[in-house]
Amino acid sequence: MSKYYNPHRTRNIYNPHSSEPFRLSRGKIDSFVKCARCFYMDRRLGVGQPPGYPFSLNSAVDLLLKKEFDIHRAAGTAHPLMKAYGLDAVPFAHAQIDEWRDAMRRGITYRIAGTSVVVTGGVDDVWKSPNGELIIVDYKATSKDGEVSLDADWQDGYKRQMEIYQWLFRQNGFKVSRTGYFVYCNGDTDARAFDGKLEFDIKLIPYDGDDSWVEGTILAAIECLKSDTLPASGVDCDYCAYRKAAGAVESLKVEDRDSLLEDVVKFIKDKDLISTALLQREFGIGYVRACRLLDKLEEAGLVSPSEGAKPRKVFIKENKTIKKLVN
C-alpha cells in the first residue's frame, strides 16, 4: 500500500450529528453525480477509491499559465489570447484570487443554509468583462492528434466543473457570465525531436454553462450523506468491473472452497440453466451441499440468484474472464 492511500480513512468523514463545517469539494460533488455508492463509502464511511498519481506535467502547465495571466492581472491588460479571440476582458484583480485558486485548503466556498456543509472549489482563473461580469476560466492540458474540443462524453465532467464554479461565484454575490472559457493547451508531438521542450497549441474554447442542476444535486448529496443506508451504485465503472471480476476469481480460488466447486464450474460452463436437483444427480451429493455450491456460484456472479424451485441462469458463457479460468 502506498503512503498516499489509506483505505480506512478517519478524517474528512461526514458526521450527521456534528455542526462542525464539513468541506464538500467540487470533485466530490462530481463523484456523487457519477455514483452515490462510492461517494457515500468515501465521505461517510472513509473508504475512498485509490487516488490516481498526480499529473505533474498538467500541473506545471497550469502553474505557468497562472503566472502568465497574473502578469496581465497586475498590469490590468488583456492577455494576447483574449485579443486573438476577440474577447473583451482582462484577468480579474481581486484580493481573494489566490485563495479562490487554492483548491486544497481554501478555494471559493459557500455554506449550505441549515447544514454543516461548505461547498468548495478551486478555480483556475477568473476574468472580468467591461460590463462587470465575471468569466470563469479553466485551464486544460493534453497532447492529442487533431483539434481539442469538448465533444467527448468523458468531458461532461469538465462542463459540470465549470457550472459548479459559476454557481459558487453567484452564491458569493458576483454577477457571472453564462459563458465560461477553457484555455486548452495541446502538446505538439509533430516536432522533429524533443530537444528538451514541448510546444503547445493553445485554444480558447467557450462554454455556455447552465448551473440549474447544481443546488438540487448538492442537497441530494447531503441527504445521501445523512442516511444510514448504503445507496445503490450508479452506472458500472471500471472500478466496479474490476471489483466484480476480482471477487469472482477469488471465490473460485480460495483455499476453503468446497472441493467440488471447480468441477461444478466445469460441469455448468456451457449450460444455460442449472438446478439443485441436477447437481445432486451429477455429483451424488445431498440437497444442502448442492444449495451451498449454487450460493457460492451466485456470490461469484456465475449464476442468477435463487428463485425458489426454478433453475438458475448460468452466466459463464458471457464472461470471458471466467471462461478462460475454467477452461
**Binding site residues, ligand SF4, CB under 6 A:** 35, 37-38, 233-234, 236-237, 239-240, 243
Exposure on the CB side of residue 178, measured as CA atoms within 13 A: 4
Residue number with CB closer to ligand SF4 (36 or 65) = 36
Q: How far is the CB of 217 from ligand SF4 (least distance, A)?
A: 16
CA 48 to CA 84: how far, in whole Å?
Answer: 43
Q: How far is the CB of 241 from ligand SF4 (least distance, A)?
A: 8
CA 157 to CA 169: how far, in whole Å?
Answer: 19
Q: How far is the CB of 103 from ligand SF4 (least distance, A)?
A: 21
Phi/psi-derived region of residue 111, left when phi > 0, alpha when psi is between -120 and 50, beta in every other case: beta
Give one DSSP letter per residue of 218-231, joined into a string: HHHHHHHHH-SSPP
Residue number with CB closer to ligand SF4 (249 or 326) = 249
Q: How far is the CB of 189 from ligand SF4 (least distance, A)?
A: 32
At 115, is the secondary structure helix, strand, or coil? coil
Residue number with CB closer to ligand SF4 (41 or 205) = 41
Q: How far is the CB of 208 from ligand SF4 (least distance, A)?
A: 29
Residue number with CB closer to ligand SF4 (78 or 240) = 240
Cell digits of residue 139:
485551464
Per the CB < 8 A criterion, the answer to whether 291 and 276 are in contact is yes
Q: Give the N- to C-terminal CA distance of the chain in Å, as an integer.
A: 33
Per the CB < 8 A criterion, the answer to whether 326 and 265 are in contact is yes
Residue number with CB closer to ligand SF4 (147 or 236) = 236
